[in-house]
Amino acid sequence: MKTSILAAVLFAAAACLTVAAPAHGQSYPNKPIRLVVPFPAGGATDIFARAVSQKLGERLGTTIVVDNKPGAGGTIGSDIVAKAPADGYTLLLATSSTHSIGPSFGNKLPYDAVADFTPIAHVGNAPSIMVVPNSAPAKSVKEWIDYARKNPGKLNYASSGNGTVVHLTSEYFKAQAGLFLVHIPYRGTALAIPDLVSGKVDLLFDSLPSGLPHVKEGRLRALGITSLKRSPLLPDLPAISETVPGYESVTWFGLYGPKGMPAELVARVNTALNQALQEADVKDRLARLGIDPVGGTPQQFTAMAATDMAKWKKIIQERKIAAE
């Protein structure tokens, strides 16, 4: 009799716990989600985040709050997410800089780019454009290379920080073209634009979303694009590879959560993101920004990031490129 009563009590308690603690996926999200962008407002990553965050929020049934945390080549913002609770309410829009190139230098980061994050989805890709001041004497990639070779050490280039994709894209260009240029790191490419416009900076490889508006407004001159072939968005802009054979550099954007994020939450965000990327207005907006939406599974994203990291690590070692 006592055994039956005890069993009944335990069963009732278990039932209450089940009702009181529903699965993560059923109750998530019930408050705004913080999307950390590890670069300044106005840069490519920020523009991309704001292009997809509203639709992603609508699909999830909540608000996505974009939070810019720039500095140290994206390390500061990335570290915030790495150390955040794995409850799905703090996410990171990472890039090639934070999760492929930075870790490939072998520098001690405050986080492990693989072990301390949960991959959610490969969001998109964007090539960069080679932009120079309107006062630059060169009007083509070949002319700029010839001019730089005649003035070794006298010209400089800006980047979004040591160890970022902009830094590596520039160093790779230097190596392939045989140039001696001085590196000037900024906390983001958006912060370098005024100095580029004024002529204090001679060169910037800016992501298409953030660099193209300045070209269209006539503030800067674009000489080439870093994709292997010309972009349909800018069919008249030559690929740099037409002058420097084999040259290519494309920035990827990806969504991560902190390590240990529950699988059901990852699936929820991944599904919502894939749906958002398929919406006509999102695709149109990204196309105008020069971004190719990707999507896919967390597993596909993980494989892509690993391949990209291996590529940049090889280039860094072969070219003896230093982050500092």
pLDDT value of position 249: 94
pLDDT value of position 83: 98
Chain mean pLDDT for the chain: 89
Q: Any residues with CB less than 8 A from the CB of 222 and at least 6 apart, and which?
A: 129, 130, 131, 211, 212, 215, 234, 237
The arithmetic mean of pLDDT across residues 35-51, rounded, is 91
Q: Any residues with CB less than 8 A from the CB of 306 and at least 6 apart, and which?
A: 114
Measured CA to CA, the distance from residue 187 to residue 162 in angstroms comes to 9
Q: In sequence order, what are the beta bridge partners of 64?
A: 33
pLDDT value of position 324: 63
Please give the structure tokens belonging to residue 42: 């106005």
pLDDT single digits (tens) 77-97: 999 999 999 999 999 999 998
pLDDT single digits (tens) 233-244: 789 999 999 999
Measured CA to CA, the distance from residue 240 to residue 234 in angstroms comes to 13
pLDDT value of position 274: 98
pLDDT value of position 18: 38
CB 186 within 8 A of CB 192: yes
Q: In sequence order, what are the beta bridge partners of 205?
A: 130
The arithmetic mean of pLDDT across residues 146-171, rounded, is 92
Measured CA to CA, the distance from residue 113 to residue 111 in angstroms comes to 6
pLDDT single digits (tens) 10-39: 344 444 433 333 445 569 999 999 999 999
From 12-21, 148-157, 168-177, the region with the lowest mean pLDDT: 12-21
Angle, helices 280-289 vs 263-277, to 10°: value is: 80
pLDDT single digits (tens) 205-258: 998 888 989 999 999 999 999 999 998 878 999 999 999 999 999 989 999 999
> SS3 of 162, please?
coil
Please give the structure tokens belonging to residue 208: 């298409």
pLDDT single digits (tens) 182-208: 999 998 898 999 999 999 999 999 988
pLDDT value of position 116: 98
Domains and CATH numbers, the chain: 24-126+251-319 (3.40.190.150), 127-242 (3.40.190.10)
